[in-house]
Amino acid sequence: MNETWILLGATSSMARAMARQLAGEGANLVLAGRDMADLEAQATDLALRGAASAKAARFDARDAATFAPIIDAAETLAGEGPINCAVFVGSMPPQDAIDADPSLIDGTVTDSFTGPARFLQMLAPKLEAKGKGLVIGVGSVAGDRGRIGNYVYGAAKSGFATYLSGLRNRLGRSGVHVMTVKPGFVDTAMTWDVEGMFLVASPAQVAAHMLKKGRKGRNVLYTPFFWRYIMAIIRSVPEPIFKKLSV
Amino acid sequence: MSWKKHSWAGWGRVQSATGELARPERSAALAPLATEAPAIGNCRSYGDAALVSEGRAITMTRLDKILFFDEADGVIHVEAGATIADLARILAPKGFLPAVMPGTGFATVGGCIAMDVHGKNHHGAGSFGQHVTEITLASGKVLTPSHPLFKATVGGIGQTGPIASAKLKLLRAKVDVMMVTERRAENLENFLDLLDESEATYTVGWIDATATGEALGRGILEEGETGAGLVPPAKRGRKVPFNAPSWALAAPVVRLFNKLYYGRVPAAGRTLVKPIDDFFFPLDRIHDWNKLYGKKGFHQFQCVVPVTARGTLRSMLEAIATSGLASPLAVLKRMGPGRAGHLSFPMEGYTLAVDFRNRTGTRGLISELIAEAKAAGGRIYFAKDSVARAEDIPGMYPELAEWAEAVNAGDPEHHYETDLTKRLSLRSAK
């Protein structure tokens, strides 16, 4: 049976790469995001690349009214088949913009944590009822430790990671797997003009890695793999020293 | 949109640029950049056509969606960053192919328009631009072939501004494989006769640019027809991991390689079944093959000369063979008259393309070849050139002034200039 996938934040580079791979496998795709014109164009493109069906749907992390129609659309497409969901949403305003306007914290936390968490909370009972499915939640290595350059974004992603850990604990009991992904540097719009990037991975490479490991039941995935070791080192730096670093 | 400081090189890796790049991920992010800078694709132009030193360029590779496919009319609407290989891969199982495919599948649709590229079927199908039914510029302007800017955009090396998307009329063909006949051509005269007589849809000639004397201009003519049937297993792509040492393409190595390559095809010829990609994009299987020329890079010379200029080809090949600078990559093809833009390369005649290691004497040799092509009433190809001077061009491209007037009117502040247009002063033509 064809898989049905909800991609939240489907216009992001990583989501688009994953959508292309899933299209090649003949999946049903629900592409959720804000730029409807782009999502409609993507749906046409993915159908030609082999998707059984591809549908654009509006998702705004800050507007909970957009959530239910997405879940309905996925249920219709899936029929008796499984529903999977991958979450790519998040926003990262520059830390100095947040310093100037602390109210930006609300939006950052909604986009990166509470919005998608609320969506998944609505989806969870449907997945439990099906007794199968895969949820891939994209966090960030920035969530592993608060750093001077982006600690609000990091805090939001950290919250999301903790949420996913709890969701995994819950859904695992009914045969639904939840994987937390922590990408390092990926060649996306977010990192395009950031100085000091190294070992940057392509979105296609990262998306393929996620699907492969998620299907094998990995709980937490650092991608590319060596970020696991980089972050192990960063996490092990004692706080009295870490607070003086600018990594 | 954010700009990033970046250094990048042409495919030949002799010329490079340091400038600023933007890379829109969605068409909504492209529109605001429309008047700021020229677009670049996968940078498969050998020289400086995709380079902007001390300036800005827009990388189009992430805008690669198929926007619409009209199966009944055989028309596809695609974003400019889509590659030809991608289109071929998606379309072939549906019974279609891009009507014209250049020698690398990594070329983007935008790049194919900007260079008005040709393929192995140019003698029959004409140039890429002749199958473009509509171009949408990033500025929002929609150009059909009757629009005055259409001929300035097709073959217009990006000077009318970034192309957002285009509609292409496709070739309707059930293609699983290519049936390829390979025949030896013993010398130049024999080769040109075979090219003239060939009735195949797709033809390309590999030429041994190191052969001299009686064997001058010998090579192998490949004739291809699309076919249906069992697809031979595709070979896995390989990557060139590092720059090759300088002796890898030294003259004796190339002579030996060419001799073996020529001898591989039996004297009586042979017919093979090849995967589509292997026939159309033979080098794409080796990623980053340009590294085989080592750190110094290489130049490609490509010209087209009228059918009456057989003597010019002979004298060019003599100069090339005695120089010891040629690589195994040398191609001879018959071209038809088809072209779609003011600065389109094709003309009825023979086109010769040869790669040269970048060594002492290479530029001088290419300059001589350029002069010979010009004297014979031919022209050189902007997608390949890295050596020509401004004064070489007007005689080769009779519509240059008309083109310059059209693009200057649309871009009076010269935001779309590239290293190529500046080096050859193309937009100053009167």
Q: Which residues in chain B have their CB less than 8 angstroms from residue A192's CB?
A: 2, 4, 23
User: Does pLDDT of A1 surpass 80?
Assistant: no
DSSP B189-206: HHHHHHHHH---SEEEEE
State residue B246's pLDDT score: 77
Q: Which residues in chain B have their CB less than 8 angstroms from residue A12's CB?
A: 25
State residue A245's pLDDT score: 87
A44 with B65: Cβ contact below 8 A: yes
B257 close to A (CB below 8 A): no
Express each pLDDT in A103-137 by its tens digit.
Answer: 999 999 999 999 999 999 999 999 999 999 999 99
Q: Which residues in chain A have their CB less than 8 angstroms from residue B90's CB?
A: 48-49
Distance from CA of A189 to the nearest CA of B (A): 7
pLDDT band, very low/low/confident/very high, at A2 (cuts 50, 70, 90): confident
Residue among A203, A241, A174 at smallest CA distance from A13: A203
Q: Which residues in chain B have their CB less than 8 angstroms from residue A44's CB?
A: 65-69
Provide the chain B residues 84-113 that lie in CB contact (below 8 A) with chain A.
90
The backbone torsions φ and ψ at residue B170, rounded to the nearest 5 degrees and listed phi first, read -95, 160
User: Does pLDDT of A199 surpass 90?
Assistant: no
Determine the Cα–Cα distance for residues A20 and A7; give it in Å rounded to an integer: 12
Q: Which amino acid is located at A234 in the chain?
A: I
State residue B175's pLDDT score: 87
ipTM, 2 dp:
0.89
pLDDT band, very low/low/confident/very high, at A221 (cuts 50, 70, 90): very high
Determine the Cα–Cα distance for residues B169 and A183; give it in Å rounded to an integer: 41
A49 with B67: Cβ contact below 8 A: no
B4 with A45: Cβ contact below 8 A: no
Q: Which residues in chain B have their CB less than 8 angstroms from residue A45's CB?
A: 65-67
B66 with A45: Cβ contact below 8 A: yes
Please say whether the beta carbons of B409 and B402 come within 8 A: no
Please say whether the beta carbons of A8 and A116 come within 8 A: yes
Express each pLDDT in A228-245 by its tens digit.
Answer: 999 999 999 999 999 998
Instruction: For Cα atoms B61, A54, B90, give the angle at the middle one, nearest 5 degrees.
Output: 50
Interface test with B, best of A38, A88, A185, A191 (most B CBs within 10 A): A38
Cis peptide before B412 (omega within 30 of 0): no
* B164 DSSP β-pair partners: none
Over residues A211-226, the mean pLDDT reads: 96
B2 with A193: Cβ contact below 8 A: yes
Determine the Cα–Cα distance for residues B341 and B402; give it in Å rounded to an integer: 11
B66 with A44: Cβ contact below 8 A: yes
Mean pLDDT for chain A overall: 95
Please say whether the beta carbons of B302 and B352 come within 8 A: yes
State residue B236's pLDDT score: 62
Q: Which amino acid is located at B95 in the chain?
A: G
State residue B107's pLDDT score: 98
B68 close to A (CB below 8 A): yes
State residue A194's pLDDT score: 81
* B298 DSSP β-pair partners: B357
Interface test with A, best of B25, B86, B287 (most A CBs within 10 A): B25
Please say whether the beta carbons of A6 and A27 come within 8 A: no
CA distances from B252 to B289, B317, B328 (A): 20, 17, 11
Q: How many helices (H) and strands (E) does chain B have?
A: 12, 20
State residue B239's pLDDT score: 81
B26 with A11: Cβ contact below 8 A: yes
B27 with A193: Cβ contact below 8 A: no
State residue B243's pLDDT score: 84
Residue with tokens 């590779």: B61
Distance from CA of A44 to the nearest CA of B (A): 6
Q: Which residues in chain A have their CB less than 8 angstroms from residue B30's CB?
A: none
- Cα dihedral: A187, A192, A196, A197 (round 10): 0
Express each pLDDT in B7-26 by its tens digit.
Answer: 999 999 999 999 999 999 99
Please say whether the beta carbons of B94 and B72 come within 8 A: no
Please say whether the beta carbons of B33 and B58 come within 8 A: yes
User: How many CB pairs below 8 Å do chains A and B form together?
Assistant: 39
Interface test with A, best of B27, B66, B167 (most A CBs within 10 A): B66
A41 with B2: Cβ contact below 8 A: no
Interface test with B, best of A11, A20, A42, A48 (most B CBs within 10 A): A48
Instruction: For Cα atoms B74, B80, B85, give the angle at the middle one, nearest 5 degrees.
Output: 65
Determine the Cα–Cα distance for residues A231 and A71; give it in Å rounded to an integer: 35
Kindly give the parts of chain B with pLDDT less than 70.
1, 231-237
Express each pLDDT in B130-152 by its tens digit.
Answer: 999 999 999 999 999 999 999 99
Find, in chain B, the residue whose alpha carbon is nearest to that of A192.
Answer: B4
State residue A59's pLDDT score: 98
